């Protein structure tokens, strides 16, 4: 039972029904009071009118009192409503009466008359031994004597009418409350239907059913926004799972290649005895593939840290000119093998707060790509300058460039951008550069080249650490 009352639909229904019930009860009570006052007002008007008629027609005739020359008092109003009447002397004697005799009722009426002031009538309800009546008592002066006029009218018809009215109001209130409760329960169910559908969809979701969506036709209200937000969340989840599946498959492929080469080389060497030179050649292949495997693994780990938000640069003051010169010097021997010239345009002097290891890796990846895809006798320009409180580092080559249609996918992992632009790489270098730049609060982009020749990567990094964190030195392992 307690779980039932915890349901939103039930609580909404009970709340709405309670408010409606209170409003209906208040309205029914107000109607009952007004209707009762109206009925009593009509009865009182008939009593007052009859009292005025009697007061104007009463005359003293000797020791008696007559009405319009006769001793008989009228027992009904001109409209035909029955009213009992009695004249009582000051000493309590009944001088004249008409209609139902006044006994105990007369005594009560006299008590009221004693409390009356001047000639103002007193009207009150009294329940006698026989029935429920409405009394009017008024002091009159007839022939120099003070007499009391007592009029009474039965309230049986009033009681019956009010009883029927009470029953009708009660039945109406109960019927309306039940109708309101059922309507509220149905309406709450209709309103909460999208929530139930969203809940059921979320409960049934799995990694293989992320293509499901909420397809309800809802207006742009709270529930419509909830459904739209839920669908947007599913879009992000589906994209993330697809990227994860693609990443896992591509990573497995990249890792399998060097492992396959290692296994094949070891199996060939293990089959028959070899001389020293053959063993040395095999070891060179193993070492080369191991280095490749280690590089891919290292890049994957860094990207995983970036995805988890744990790639936090250990910042320190780094001389930009020194970093550019050191990176260029490292790659000049390899570039010289292809007659590729590397030129460094240093800013002279200038410091940047960055992680030296990550900054070194970013520039190394860019230069590695540039050398790989620059034709013989080409050139590479490595430069840096300050602009607007940021360092802009540029790596520009004279290669074939990147197809415009493939540029949106340039920094995605394992995406083969062009046949001549990721040849021999794992497809992780540029995505790792983007992760490192983002971790430093910067960005990386491929600049538009109006001549459509070569590629120019632009890295923008803040001069100072934006969050104010200090750090120690990190060596380049």
Q: What CATH number should be reported for the domain holding residue 241?
A: 1.10.287.130
pLDDT digits (tens, 9 = 90+) for 306-316: 777 778 888 89
For residues 237 and 138, membership in a common domain is answered with: no
In a domain, 188, yes or no: no
DSSP letters of 381-415?
EEEEEEETTEEEEEEEE-S----GGGGGGTTSTT-
Mean pLDDT score across all residues of the chain = 79
CATH number of the domain residue 419 falls in = 3.30.565.10
* CA 154 from centre of chain: 64
- State the DSSP string of 94-143: EEEEESS--SHHHHHHHHHHHH--TT--EEEEEE-SS-EEEEEEEEEEET
Our CA dihedral for 367, 456, 421, 431, rounded to 10 degrees, sits at 70
189 found inside a domain: no
* pLDDT, average across residues 40-49: 89
pLDDT in tens, 137-163: 888 777 667 778 888 888 888 999 999
Look at residue 133 and tell me if it is in a domain.
yes
72 CB burial (10 A radius; 0-12, 13-18, 19+) = exposed
Quote the number of domains for the chain.
3
Lowest-confidence segment of 5-14, 385-394, 449-458 by average pLDDT: 449-458
The two structure tokens encoding residue 252: 């497995």
Confidence of residue 24 (pLDDT cuts 50, 70, 90): very high
Residue 186 falls inside a structural domain: no
Residues 16 and 38 in one domain: yes
Taking the C-alpha atoms of residue 240 and residue 232, their distance in angstroms, rounded to an integer, is 12
Q: Are residues 302 and 368 in the same domain?
A: no
Q: Distance between CA atoms of 206 and 229, rounded to whole angstroms?
A: 18
134 and 251 housed in the same domain: no
Shared domain for 34 and 142, answered yes or no, is yes
Among 160, 182, 198, the domain-final residue is 160
- Are 48 and 156 in a shared domain? yes
Give exposure, 450-465, as e/b (b: 16+ Cβ within 10 Å): eeeebbbbebbbebeb
Q: Which residues pair with 154 in a beta bridge?
A: 133
DSSP secondary structure code for residue 375 in this structure: P
Q: What is the pLDDT of residue 468?
A: 39
Q: Which domain holds residue 75?
A: 2-160
Same domain (yes/no): 456, 324: yes
251 and 122: one domain?
no
For residue 101, give the CATH number of its domain.
Answer: 3.30.450
**Best-predicted range by mean pLDDT among 24-38, 67-81, 345-359, 407-421?**
24-38
> Is residue 386 included in any domain, yes or no?
yes
Of the two residues 441 and 224, the one the predictor is more confident about is: 441
> Mean pLDDT: which of 49-58, 174-183, 211-220, 242-251 is highest?
174-183
Asked if residue 174 is part of any domain, the answer here is no
Co-location of 337 and 438 in the same domain: yes
The first and second tokens of residue 265, run together, are: 């080389």
pLDDT in tens, 372-428: 888 898 999 999 998 888 999 999 998 877 777 777 778 877 664 433 333 445 567
pLDDT value, residue 328: 92
Are 302 and 330 members of one domain? no
**Same domain, yes or no, for 331 and 253?**
no
Percent of the chain topping pLDDT 90: 21
pLDDT, residue 402, reads 78
Q: Is residue 191 part of a domain?
A: no
**Structure letter (DSSP) for residue 317:** E
pLDDT in tens, 68-117: 656 667 877 777 788 888 877 776 677 777 776 665 455 455 545 554 54
Same domain, 328 and 427: yes
Among candidate residues 291, 353, 360, 354, the one with its CA nearest the CA of residue 323? 360
Domain ends where: 288, 308, 328? 308
Among 248, 279, 308, residue at a domain's last position:
308
pLDDT(443) > 80: yes
- Could you tell me if residue 71 is inside a domain? yes
- This prediction has a pTM of 0.51
């Amino acid at each position: 039972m307690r779980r039932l009352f915890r349901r939103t639909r039930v609580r909404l229904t009970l709340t709405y029904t309670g408010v409606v019930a209170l409003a209906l009860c208040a309205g029914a009570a107000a109607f009952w009071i007004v209707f009762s006052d109206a009925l009593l007002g009509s009865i009182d008007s008939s009593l007052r009118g009859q009292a005025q008629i009697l007061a104007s027609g009463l005359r003293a005739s000797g020791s008696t009192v007559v009405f319009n020359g006769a001793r008989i008092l009228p027992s009904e109003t001109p409209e035909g409503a029955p009213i009992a009447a009695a004249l009582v002397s000051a000493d309590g004697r009944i001088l004249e009466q008409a209609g139902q005799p006044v006994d105990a009722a007369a005594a009560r009426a006299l008590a009221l008359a004693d409390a009356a002031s001047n000639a103002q009538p007193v009207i009150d309800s009294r329940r006698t031994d026989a029935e429920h009546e409405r009394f009017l008592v008024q002091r009159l002066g007839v022939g120099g004597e003070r007499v009391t006029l007592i009029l009474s009218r039965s309230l049986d018809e009033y009681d019956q009418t009010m009883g029927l009215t009470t029953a009708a109001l009660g039945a109406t209130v109960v019927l309306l409350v039940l109708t309101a409760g059922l309507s509220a329960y149905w309406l709450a169910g209709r309103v909460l239907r999208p929530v139930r559908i969203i809940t059921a969809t979320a409960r049934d979701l799995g990694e293989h059913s992320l293509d499901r969506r909420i397809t309800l036709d809802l207006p742009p209200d709270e529930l419509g926004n909830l459904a739209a937000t839920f669908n947007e969340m599913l879009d992000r989840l589906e994209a993330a799972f697809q990227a994860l599946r693609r990443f896992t498959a591509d990573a497995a492929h990249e890792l399998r290649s060097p492992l396959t080469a290692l296994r094949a080389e070891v199996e060939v060497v293990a089959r028959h005895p070899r001389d020293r030179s053959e063993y040395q050649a095999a070891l060179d292949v193993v070492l080369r593939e191991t280095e490749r495997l280690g590089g891919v693994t290292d890049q994957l780990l860094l990207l995983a840290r970036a995805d988890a938000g744990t790639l936090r640069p250990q910042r320190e003051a780094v001389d930009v000119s020194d970093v550019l010169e050191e990176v260029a010097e490292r790659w000049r021997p390899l570039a010289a093998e292809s007659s590729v010239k590397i030129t460094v345009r240093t800013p002279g002097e200038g410091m940047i707060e960055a992680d030296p290891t990550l900054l070194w890796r970013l520039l190394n990846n860019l230069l590695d790509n540039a050398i790989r895809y620059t034709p013989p006798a080409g050139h590479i320009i490595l430069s840096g300058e300050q602009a607007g409180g940021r360092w802009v580092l540029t790596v520009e080559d004279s290669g074939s460039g990147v197809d415009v249609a493939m540029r949106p996918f340039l920094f995605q992992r394992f995406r083969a951008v062009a046949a001549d632009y990721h040849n021999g790489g794992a497809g992780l270098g540029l995505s790792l550069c983007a992760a490192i730049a983002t971790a430093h609060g910067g960005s990386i982009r491929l600049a538009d080249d109006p001549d459509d020749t070569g590629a120019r990567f632009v890295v923008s990094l803040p001069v100072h650490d934006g969050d104010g964190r200090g750090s120690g030195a990190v060596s380049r392992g």
